Amino acid sequence: MRFKQNIIKDKRILLFICTIIVGNIIFWIAAALTDWQSTKTTFFRWDHWSFMDWFSEFMRFNTGNIYVGNDIANYPAFCFLILRVFYTFVPKPNERLEDVYSIRTMQQTMVPLAVFMVFMIFALYHIIRYEMHNNTKWEREGIAFSILVSAPFLFVFERGNQIIIALLCTMLYVMLYDSDKRMLRIISYVCLSIAAAIKIYPAIFGILTIEKKRYKESILLIFMGGITFLFPFIFFNGFEGVIAFINSIFNSFETYSDYGFGYDFSIYNLERLIISLLFGYQTSASDISIIITIIALIVAFVVAQETWQRFAVLTLAFIFLPKFSYIYTVCFLIIPLIYMFKVKCRKIHFLYLAEFLLIYFPWLHFPIDRINFMRGGEEFSHTFSLGHVFVYIGLLGLLFTILSEGIYTKFLKKLQRKTLFKIK
């Protein structure tokens, strides 16, 4: 009897777990056989650049080059408050602090990062399990494990990126924002404020509080978010630091476009890719795709049939709409994925599941050379592969399916009401 209570009953969950585990087996065997050449869709292509989302910014404390100088940081000041805590472990003076590579090889910098990442993984694992507390033990354990070894999370761990903190805080907000207890809702607002102070785009989830017509609390949330984001700049060049950070963000859009088409899943990047294939390599594109996507996202949010679909639409908004959107942003899609598993299975869920699997599967690297050598015969650093095509299909398919189902269902219900009215 106890065994039956622990088996995986939900076919959606079983399919997700099996697919991701099989994908990982293939992924790691191929990595061993190809000298890691097959991993370059999931892991960063520059194999000497591992953990550098952490250490390249960490090194700024040694150079003093955060929001001043020629190489200005494009991370918010809250991130540097966190990094400053870890920088206190570095012994000073230390002649080995010459560059990002030397600081990465130090025990005093690597061990604290390792402990931090283990703690984040542990926390994420238990939050996923808690969110699925109504499922069986094997379902909880299997989903938590398979998510943590999926492609976007492998990328996050390899980069050592603080987005994992933003994800955890956003998940806590989603868990608590609609609580009957006001104190728990306030805690959720604190969590979302921290998430937005680290990566900005999770702030869009604040729409969920507005949607609940808690207008006073919405104002409080905006105030808390603004303070959490701006206050840390006091320690990093104040108002001038804010201006420098904003300029750095907009400049980075132009800089990243020269790296290639891989790892970037913005709709702008897709438009630029298509135009480049048709008319030759382009460093920029129009904003037509962004405008169309905004309209599609708004309509999809309005017509969405289930709560998890609204979570998906909000997540897709900050994946598609920035002009540069690294692959680690898609890790936020575990929020709608988990909540889809929490509701009763419908047949269309298997289509959604297929789209999630396209996004989370650890694809082997089959580069598309026609795209990767567009710039005068020189290979881009961010190579585009067949796996990136599948991820794009999954992301666009997810938005299209939510939009189509919502419009169809609303139209069908309206038609049924008219039919009943005529019969009466």
Kindly report, residue by residue over 27-51, the tens digit of the pLDDT.
Answer: 999 999 999 999 999 998 787 888 9
Provide the sign of the torsion angle of the four alpha carbons 107, 110, 113, 117, taken in this order: negative
Q: How many whole angstroms separate alpha carbon 167 and alpha carbon 328?
A: 10
Task: Please give the C-alpha separations between residue 276 and each of 269, 281, 338, in angstroms, as whole numbers.
Answer: 10, 4, 37
- The answer to whether 91 and 106 are in contact (CB under 8 A) is no
When mean pLDDT is compared across 168-177, 278-287, 356-365, the lowest value belongs to 278-287
Residue 386 — pLDDT band, cuts 50, 70, 90? very high
Check residue 106 and give its pLDDT: 87
Q: In this predicted model, what pLDDT tens digit does every residue of 129-171 receive, in sequence order?
A: 999 988 888 999 999 999 999 999 999 999 999 999 999 999 9
For residue 234, give the 3-state DSSP assignment. Answer: helix
What percentage of the chain has pLDDT greater than the value 70? 95
Instruction: Check whether 63 has a pLDDT greater than 80.
Output: no
If one compares 218 and 96, the residue with the highest pLDDT of the two is 218
Instruction: Check whether 14 has a pLDDT greater than 90.
Output: yes
Buried b (16+ CB within 10 A) or exposed e, 249-279: beeeeeebbeebbbbbbbbbbbbbbebbeee
Q: Which residues pair with 367 in a beta bridge?
A: 385
Instruction: Check whether 127 has a pLDDT greater than 70.
Output: yes
Q: Region 44-64: what's the mean pLDDT?
A: 84
Instruction: Check whether 3 has a pLDDT greater than 50.
Output: no
- The answer to whether 314 and 304 are in contact (CB under 8 A) is no
Q: Which of 154, 153, 147, 102 is nearest to 126 (CA)?
A: 147
Check residue 33 and give its pLDDT: 96
Q: In this predicted model, what pLDDT tens digit does every residue of 290-321 receive, in sequence order?
A: 999 999 999 999 999 999 999 999 999 999 99
Domain boundaries, the chain: 8-423
Q: What is the mean pLDDT of the chain?
A: 90
Instruction: Check whether 230 has a pLDDT greater than 50.
Output: yes
If one compares 253 and 208, the residue with the highest pLDDT of the two is 208
Q: Decide: pTM greater than 0.85.
A: yes
How many Å from the N-terminal Cα to the C-terminal Cα in the chain?
52
Check residue 1 and give its pLDDT: 44
What percentage of the chain has pLDDT greater than the value 90? 69
Q: Region 400-405: what's the mean pLDDT?
A: 96
When mean pLDDT is compared across 106-110, 254-258, 314-318, 380-384, the lowest value belongs to 254-258
